[in-house]
């Protein structure tokens, strides 16, 4: 097995995040509101972990990595535009991680697909912006290995 650099692994995480984002978009089109939230959370998680991987930062093997991610605001080697967004991004990570379980297993609590109807478009928008920001950072700091 060949060794994969952190940068290559980060871009693989970003590609996975894009696929989750595509799943969220399709779920939005299909009015599968709980799937939108679940997929949006996964897109945010994967793209955030991609940034951490690229920077060589270990993170807990859990869905809510907002605490680790928020520490990036103290990194002087990161662009100011990115550091200025970190607190909002960290809040998004935490919020979606909290809702993920309910989106995936809400049926156990009697919640149906319509529970997330009003929030689903916002969840998708949050995820899209989040993934785009992570990609912009990676592209600014590193050139994509496939480019």
Note the pLDDT tens digit of each residue in 1-22.
556 799 999 999 999 999 999 9
Q: Is the pLDDT of residue 144 over 70?
A: no
State how far the Cα of 43 lies from the Cα of 129, in Å rounded to an integer: 10
Please indicate, yes or no, whether the overall pTM of this predicted structure exceeds 0.75.
yes
pLDDT in tens, 83-123: 999 999 999 999 999 999 999 999 999 998 899 999 999 99
What pLDDT, on a 0 to 100 scale, did the predictor assign at position 3?
65
Q: Is the pLDDT of residue 75 over 60?
A: yes
The domains of the chain are located at 6-141
Q: Among 7, 8, 42, which Cα is nearest to 22's?
A: 42
In this structure, which CATH number among 3.30.70.3340, 3.55.50.30, 2.40.110.10, 1.20.120.330 belongs to the domain 6-141? 1.20.120.330
> What end-to-end distance do the CA atoms of the chain give, in Å?
23
What pLDDT, on a 0 to 100 scale, did the predictor assign at position 4?
72
Q: Among 57, 49, 53, which Cα is nearest to 89's?
A: 49
State how far the Cα of 95 lies from the Cα of 127, in Å rounded to an integer: 11
């Amino acid at each position: 097995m060949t060794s994969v650099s952190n940068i290559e692994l980060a871009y693989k995480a970003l590609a996975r995040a894009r696929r989750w984002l595509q799943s969220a978009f399709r779920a939005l089109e299909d009015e599968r509101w709980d799937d939108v939230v679940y997929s949006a959370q996964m897109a945010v998680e994967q793209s955030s972990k991609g940034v951490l991987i690229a920077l060589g930062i270990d993170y807990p093997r859990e869905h809510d990595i907002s605490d680790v991610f928020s520490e990036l605001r103290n990194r002087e080697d990161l662009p100011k535009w990115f550091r200025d967004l970190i607190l909002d991004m960290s809040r998004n990570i935490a919020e979606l991680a909290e809702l993920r379980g309910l989106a995936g297993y809400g049926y156990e609590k009697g919640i149906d697909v319509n529970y997330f109807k009003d929030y689903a478009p916002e969840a998708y928008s949050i995820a899209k912006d989040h993934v785009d920001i992570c990609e912009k950072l990676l592209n600014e700091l590193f050139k994509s290995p496939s480019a």
